[in-house]
Amino acid sequence: MPTTTSLPPVGYIGLGIMGRPMAGHLLRAGYPLTVYNRTRAKAEPLVAEGAKLADSPKAVAEASEFIFTNVTDSPDLESVILGEPAAAAAHCSHKSAVIDGVRPGSIVIDNSTVAPATAKKIADALAKKDVFFLDAPVTGGEKGAIEATLAIMVGGDENAFQRALPLLQKMGKTILHMGPSGNGQMTKAINQILGALHLVAMAEAFALAQAAGLDLEKTRQIVASGAAGSWMLSNLAPRAFAGDFRPGFKAGLQNKDLRIALEAAAELGLDLPATRLARADFQRLVDMGCADEGTQAIVKTRWKR
Ligand code: NAP
């Protein structure tokens, strides 16, 4: 086991479904950890394990050489790091953001899923303070976060990536440097297109199985073992069959990610018709009041009750 004195101080901002277990791995690996969460109560389990509680993103940055963020969407991230007024988070507009406290040479590592353009904007702003920024979104779900088996796709400076790698290895198994700033988020957009289309395929295929009177679980077992298998079929279909719609990954977040993917494609002059269809399905699910349910709730747009 490494000693705490030999390891650099680390901060983690955003302790939701993903952030809390990811920060926990750093703490248990011996990194001195300072945490901040907008809703304070979610930070308490980590504080009970030995993390220090900060009262702002700025205070986390002042205390840390590596500063992780894991929040919801692009405006939230800009608010937390740059302190720009955002309707979603006016609480970070009074010089209490990461940029107000971060020291030259530090590395800010974002694990949220946001727009590639936002990652580039933040990287440029932090570079002016001689601070590195890595966009490092993840995939593998809540389970991957808890078990430290995430895939992490990283954009930004190669040397900063090498410095951050030992920390990322505490949270994930497959970790790749994808190129310059924004490339991590662009890779994640591609991941989210694949995941969403698999989910819609699952909902639609099993609508037919249901209408035809097939045994749903037997059907799942046989098709999941062949060429049509997917992570969604293996992990989320059983939950949908059981009527368990608790979130690992919230439907509202999947909807956000499809918006990000479509906007990124449009900026490159590309139309993605199947992704537009999947976005319409997830928007419908959100409009049905299911934004905080897990993505497996997509079956509600297709299945009979
Ligand atoms: P979550 O449980 O809803 O957590 C969101 C976190 O962001 C909470 O700590 C929340 O604080 C914080 N937050 C949101 N807006 C904020 C703001 N304006 N200022 C400060 N803090 C703010 O979501 P999650 O599932 O952990 O997802 C976090 C990110 O990871 C998202 O970008 C998501 O797309 C991505 N992701 C999720 C999964 C998954 O399976 N869940 C997988 C891969 C990637 P409060 O506690 O105060 O609300």
- Whether 4 has a pLDDT exceeding 70, the answer reads no
Q: How confident is the model at residue 91 (pLDDT cuts 50, 70, 90)?
A: low
The number of the ligand 1 atom at minimal distance from the alpha carbon of 38 is 47
Contact 256, 73 (CB under 8 A): yes
The correct answer on CATH 1.10.1040.10 for the domain covering 187-301 is yes
Q: In CATH, which of 3.40.50.720, 1.20.1250.20, 3.40.50.150, 3.40.50.10300 is domain 10-180?
A: 3.40.50.720
pLDDT tens digit sequence for 234-253: 999 999 999 999 999 999 99
How far is 52 from 68, CA to CA, in rounded Å?
15
Q: Is the pLDDT of residue 90 over 80?
A: no
Q: Is the pLDDT of residue 117 over 50?
A: yes
79 in contact with ligand 1, CB cutoff 6 A = yes
User: CA separation (Å) from 293 to 103, 150, 193, 285, 297?
Assistant: 39, 21, 19, 9, 6
Give the length of the chain. 305
pLDDT tens-digit profile of 5-62? 589 999 999 999 999 999 999 999 999 999 999 999 999 999 999 999 999 999 999 9
Q: Find the 76 Cα to ligand 1 centroid distance in Å.
A: 9
Is residue 295 classed as helix, strand or coil in its secondary structure? helix
Of residues 86 and 109, the one with the higher pLDDT is 109
pLDDT at 304 over 90: no
Q: Is 247 in the pocket of ligand 1 (CB under 6 A)?
A: no
Q: What is the 70 CA–ligand 1 centroid distance (Å)?
A: 6
Instruction: Show me where the domains of the chain are located.
Output: 10-180, 187-301
Rounded to the nearest whole angstrom, what is the distance from the C-alpha of residue 116 to the centroid of ligand 1?
17
Ligand 1: residue of 15, 17, 80, 112 to mutate (most ligand atoms within 8 A of CB) is 17
Query: Considering 58, 120, 121, 188, which one is annotated as catalytic?
Result: 188
Residue 154, phi then psi, degrees to nearest 5? -120, 130
pTM here is 0.94
Q: Is 188 in the active site? A: yes
Helix or strand or coil: residue 81? helix
DSSP output for 157-212 = -HHHHHHHHHHHTTTEEEEEEEESTTHHHHHHHHHHHHHHHHHHHHHHHHHHHHHT
**pLDDT at position 88:** 46
Residue 201 vs residue 88, higher pLDDT = 201
Instruction: Give the phi and the psi of residue 20 in degrees, each rounded to 5.
Output: -65, -50
- pLDDT tens digit sequence for 161-198: 999 999 999 999 999 999 999 999 999 999 999 999 99
pLDDT of residue 95: 84
Question: In which element (H, E) is residue 135 found?
Answer: strand 132-135
Q: By the 8 A CB rule, do 185 and 138 touch? A: no
Mean pLDDT of the residues in the chain: 95
Instruction: Tell me the mean pLDDT in the region 74-78.
Output: 97
Task: Give the number of other Cβ atoms within 10 Å of residue 222's Cβ.
Answer: 11
Mean pLDDT of 281-289: 98
Q: What percent of the chain has pLDDT over 90?
A: 93
Q: Which amino acid is at 196?
A: A
Confidence of residue 94 (pLDDT cuts 50, 70, 90): low
pLDDT at position 280 is: 98
Specify the DSSP element, H or E, that contains 149. Answer: none
